[in-house]
């Protein structure tokens, strides 16, 4: 075990994944690790948006390093936005907090019908002046409508100027009816820990006033392409969990990430990896081989370049600017104009980063600034790939909602004839556009249809 260590590159020997280059987060020491195979279980890339429900340490570096060594990156634009999160409270924030989706079992989601009521105390707004918009729009599912639909509906009412709380970016999740029907004791039994977390963060008692919630980035369905054995197109590189693209398609269902983690880690990989290793035993290269020395030299050169910039802007200022740009242009909804604008602005921001970022400290010590700088540098490249993918997929599909493609009721409108495929991107070298591979999707038992939650 190598705790507090991050992977900074993948080593390819004669076309096979044969090891990794790592850096100790405590000492800064760079090491080469040789193996018969490599398994990536490094999670998703939701923090490319800066604000997300993910842990602060979550990043794209391991999978993006593998992509730049030849692994295909599939469907990077598929990002799940969770509807039940505590809203942003100010620019000082670096993370958002998820409130369990279970709250929507008993909580009712609403906003004022009139813009002029949004600053009123919620208890002063009579029932007749409240818009329970999920119940209105989706009577069959109500407050339990799927995550992507519930998130877009919240954005829609806030864009109309009816959002509540600071900045008007919030909707109410109200338990008054449930408490009246079931009693406060029952609600405490079901959600007491969540109410306690909410009160600690907001200072508000959700037993007495409605919670305020708003959508936030939560999960990424895209990831490195893998086959049914969980091996990427690079022989010997296996990818499991949120780091790969499989299982979820364009719209992960609740608890499916746990399902995938269990299936990949407990059932699939223990059976497929040994089959691959059987033919690789005795073929472990030396960590002193030219391939390892070359990869280590690349890592050291990149670190040295970051430390030498000595600019005037903080790492977080670049990350925050990138996150806001992506949220606006490639977030809950996207459109061609915005995506093309993002594809112009991201390279400009990346150029500014490499010219003006300030990374204090040294590489031979505990240096969290250097950690973050490397991750933000990768985010600044990966964000461009996300927007390319979102632009190329000229349809709406699950969590990928292109505003040009929606039904008269405002729901996602797919183009199965032209886009029922996995989009897998291949790195073609620095400064070159990636190559797109389309893997057609075939449905033999359950056929594609237009979903409806009316």
Strands 108-112 and 171-174: antiparallel
Positive or negative: CA dihedral 417, 420, 426, 431: positive
Does the annotation mark 147 as catalytic? yes
What residue has token string 């699950």?
398
Residues with Cβ within 8 Å of 312's Cβ and at least 6 positions away in sequence, in order, are 356, 358
Catalytic residue among 65, 104, 147, 414: 147
- Catalytic center residues: 147
């Amino acid at each position: 075990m190598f705790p507090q260590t991050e992977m900074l590159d993948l080593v390819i020997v004669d076309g096979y994944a044969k090891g990794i280059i790592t850096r100790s987060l405590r000492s800064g020491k760079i090491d080469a690790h040789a193996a018969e195979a490599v398994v990536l279980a490094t999670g998703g890339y939701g923090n490319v948006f800066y604000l997300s429900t993910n842990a602060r340490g979550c990043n794209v570096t391991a999978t993006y390093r593998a992509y730049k060594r030849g692994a295909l990156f599939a469907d990077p634009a598929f990002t799940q936005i969770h509807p039940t999160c505590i809203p942003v409270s100010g620019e000082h924030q670096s993370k958002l907090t998820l409130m369990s989706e279970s709250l929507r079992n008993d909580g009712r989601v609403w906003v004022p019908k009139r813009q002029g009521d949004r600053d009123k105390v919620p208890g002063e707004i009579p029932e007749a002046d409240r818009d329970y918009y999920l119940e209105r729009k989706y009577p069959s599912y109500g407050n339990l409508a799927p995550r992507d639909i519930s998130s877009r509906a919240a954005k829609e009412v806030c864009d109309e100027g009816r959002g509540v709380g600071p900045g008007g970016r919030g909707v109410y999740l109200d338990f008054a009816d449930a408490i009246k029907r079931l009693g406060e004791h029952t609600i405490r039994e079901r959600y007491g820990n969540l109410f306690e977390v909410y009160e600690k963060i907001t200072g508000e008692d959700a037993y007495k006033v409605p919670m305020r919630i708003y959508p936030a980035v939560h999960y990424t369905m895209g990831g490195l392409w893998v086959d049914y054995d969980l091996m990427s197109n690079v022989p010997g590189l296996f990818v499991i969990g949120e780091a790969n693209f499989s299982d979820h398609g364009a719209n992960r269902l609740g608890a499916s990430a746990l399902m995938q983690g269990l299936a990949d880690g407990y059932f699939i990989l223990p059976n497929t990896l040994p089959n691959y290793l059987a033919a690789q035993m005795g073929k472990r290269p030396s960590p002193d081989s030219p391939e390892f020395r070359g990869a280590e030299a690349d890592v050291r050169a990149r670190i040295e370049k970051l430390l030498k910039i000595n600019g005037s802007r903080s790492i977080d200022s670049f990350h925050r600017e990138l996150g806001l740009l992506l949220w606006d242009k490639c977030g809950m909804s996207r459109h061609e104009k915005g995506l093309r604008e993002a594809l112009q602005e991201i390279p400009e921001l990346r150029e500014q980063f490499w010219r003006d970022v300030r990374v204090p400290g040294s590489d031979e010590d505990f240096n969290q600034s250097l950690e973050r700088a490397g991750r933000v540098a990768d985010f600044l490249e990966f964000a461009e790939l996300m927007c390319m993918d979102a632009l190329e997929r000229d349809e709406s599909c699950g969590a990928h909602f292109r505003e040009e493609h929606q039904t008269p009721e405002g729901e996602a409108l797919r183009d199965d004839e032209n886009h029922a495929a996995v989009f897998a991107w291949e790195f073609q070298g620095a400064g070159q556009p990636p190559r797109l591979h389309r893997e057609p999707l075939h449905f033999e038992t359950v056929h594609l249809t237009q979903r409806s939650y009316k």
